[in-house]
Amino acid sequence: MMHEPNAIAVTGLTKTFGGKRRLFGGTSHVVHAVKNVTLALRQGETLAIVGESGSGKSTLARMVVGLETPTSGQMQIAGKDAGTLAKEGPRAFGQMIQYVFQDPTSSLNPRKTIGATLEAPLRLLKGFDPARRRTRMKELLDAVQMPADTLERYPHEFSGGQAQRIAIARALAAAPRIMVLDEPVSALDVSVQAQVLLLLEDLKTEFDLSYLFISHDLAVVESVCDRVAVMYFGEVVEEGPAEALFKSPRHDYTKRLISSAPLLETGRASKQNMP
């Protein structure tokens, strides 16, 4: 029996900055933002990458979606070499994986209506005609629980939570199999965070998605993620099922992270327990 390939698989992935020759001699210091990371996101799961600021988790996420080029290592998206997939063009890569940014308002073009923002991936990545684009945009807004008149408005007219729903709808427009969520609720109020997290859970089921979830908030991670990988100074120091990792962390750094999270529950939070 053949097994479905992992949604994302990275092997020995490394990203360094610096090491360039200086104008007056010598070379700049080399910084390993990501160092020899090997991990996999399985189909249909939510894998969290956690760590403090500067741990390398966002750099890892940006490499996965093609916004940063790895210094070394291998990466596969749904069983295909990421480099080969990228050479097939933006359409092939964009229909496989999409990125949701931390700050929803700044990720939306302030000069474009929401309709123009949602229309772009439907036209460029899916090749839909105008009538089909209009229908699909309304379906996407309905999926993220936003009214149809959203299409005629501009980003500044929406709250942070509404803007993040729109950003999620834009990512869904490409009909991806994988979504990389980079701190998707950290800029939102706590009550709004819960609503967006519940929405993401529903969309995961409805659209058969796999999530790579980047976060420093362990309470959020414990509530929504299946597995967790802990990053420390660019390296993955511990990985495992969320419930087991939070209950019995092995690495000293993981223990310190968990002990410093004041809202962390003793067991995985259920959707019903979210505020």
- The residue ranges of every structural domain in the chain are 8-96+176-273, 109-174
Q: How confident is the model over 122-134, as a mean pLDDT?
A: 94
Q: 212 versus 30: which is more confidently predicted? A: 212
Pick the CATH number of 8-96+176-273 from 3.40.50.2000, 3.40.190.10, 1.10.3470.10, 3.40.50.300: 3.40.50.300
Q: What is the mean pLDDT of the chain?
A: 89
Q: How far is residue 200's CA from residue 186's CA, in Å, rounded to a whole number?
A: 14
Q: Order the strands of the 72-77 sheet from edge to edge.
A: 31-41, 8-17, 72-77, 80-81
At 176-185, the pLDDT tens digits run 999 999 999 9
Residue 75 parent element (H or E): strand 72-77
pLDDT at 87: 82
Q: Is 131 exposed, middle or buried (0-12, 13-18, 19+ CB in 10 A)?
A: exposed
Q: How confident is the model over 135-148, as a mean pLDDT?
A: 96
* Distance set, CA 87 to CA 8, 150, 165, 275 (Å): 18, 35, 30, 44
Handedness of CA 212, 238, 270, 264 (dihedral sign): negative
The three-class DSSP label of residue 100 is: strand
pLDDT at 89: 78
pLDDT at 12 over 50: yes
pLDDT at 273 over 60: no
179 and 97 Cβ atoms separated by less than 8 Å? yes
Say what percent of the chain tops pLDDT 90.
71
pTM, two decimals, is: 0.89
At 82-126, the pLDDT tens digits run 888 888 877 888 889 999 998 888 889 999 999 999 999 999 999
Q: How far is residue 168's CA from residue 144's CA, in Å, rounded to a whole number?
A: 8
At 227-254, the pLDDT tens digits run 999 999 999 999 999 999 999 999 999 9
Q: How confident is the model over 41-62, as a mean pLDDT?
A: 94
Say what percent of the chain tops pLDDT 70.
90
Handedness of CA 259, 265, 269, 273 (dihedral sign): negative
Q: How far is residue 149's CA from residue 65's CA, in Å, rounded to a whole number?
A: 31
Q: How confident is the model over 9-34, as a mean pLDDT?
A: 78
pLDDT at 24: 57
Q: How confident is the model over 47-57, as a mean pLDDT?
A: 93
pLDDT at 171 over 70: yes
Sorted by sequence, the CB contacts under 8 Å of residue 108 that are 6+ apart come out as 114, 117, 155, 163, 166, 167, 170
Q: How confident is the model over 3-14, as a mean pLDDT?
A: 92
End-to-end Cα spacing for the chain? 43
pLDDT at 32: 85
264 and 218 Cβ atoms separated by less than 8 Å? yes
Range with the lowest mean pLDDT among 144-148, 243-247, 259-263? 259-263
pLDDT at 19 over 50: yes
Pull the structure tokens for residue 260.
Answer: 């410093």
Sorted by sequence, the CB contacts under 8 Å of residue 90 that are 6+ apart come out as 124, 125
